[in-house]
Structure 1
């Protein structure tokens, strides 16, 4: 191998190493910013862990409480099967209200969830696809089959 071939080989190896390093750094940066979506049922079963994640569901009616003189707001997110209290110090969106869909980004702390970002749905007919599918799966898993009588279908059976 002559000198020019050796230089070319070192250049190719250096470029390969640099692109591998850049790929690793990008993957690590993206991994830190990923926030997975969980329902209250999944969080309470321990599937979410202590990492940063998104909590999705409906704001339970009658659960909204504001601390006087501060931005601290407490509310409960439910998926129909389980409920999880949420504490937020953020300014809530205009469309945020009880009985509406919500996605809250943050971390679980002890027996409640600390929200750092609150997103509310934009109208009364829309629910984020991720939340709707997660809530539907949770209800399918926990559906109780009732004995069917003539002319009726048991819950969870197709028509």
Structure 2
């Protein structure tokens, strides 16, 4: 084999190997990527079916029901709500009316959570949840002005 052909074969081999490695890394990254959705987005069917994602908002008052280690509760962004089921021990900071983020999948209209995260101090809420609450409040305010007579 001529030196010229050998260099070409090595270059093609290196490029092929780099391409395969890049494809594997991107595939692993995409399969581990978890998006955040608000209850309003879930109600609008904007969530991926069969994929893990996060939902966040406030735990609706009076919605927590416990049966042993099985817990169900409702997460709301003040505009829409989604029922969440969780099998396990909840964080100590989990309370009604407080912020929560749950990770899992949507099955038959109920979010099956594998992990539940509660806020860690009095002022913290995930930025995505704050934005979802802000959008929902704006939508509620616009709906109120449309339904009030004389405006």
TM-score w.r.t. the length of structure 2 is: 0.89
Structure 1 gap ranges (5+): 148-153, 155-159
Distance 1:22 1:37 in 2: 28
Q: Which residue of 2 aligns with 1:20?
A: 19
Shift of 1:66: 0.6
| Structure 1 counterpart of 2:105 | 107
1:129-148 paired onto structure 2 within 5 Å: 129-144=127-142, 146=145
Partner of 1:10: 9
Judging by fraction of residues, say which structure has more helix: 2
* Segments of 4+ moved more than 4 angstroms: none
Which residue number corresponds to residue 58 of structure 2? Answer: 58
Tell me what 1:151 maps to.
Answer: none
Number of paired residues?
145
What RMSD over aligned residues (CA atoms) do the two structures have, in Å? 1.7
Deviation at residue 143 of structure 1 after TM alignment: 2.9
Deviations 1:77-125, CA, capped at 9 Å, x for gaps: 0000011110001221111111111110001111211000111100121
Q: What's the CA shift string for 1:30-89, capped at 9, x where partnerless?
A: 11111110111100110003121100101111111111xx31100100000011110001
Identify the residue that residue 118 of structure 2 maps to in structure 1.
120
The TM-score, its normalising length taken from structure 1, stands at 0.85
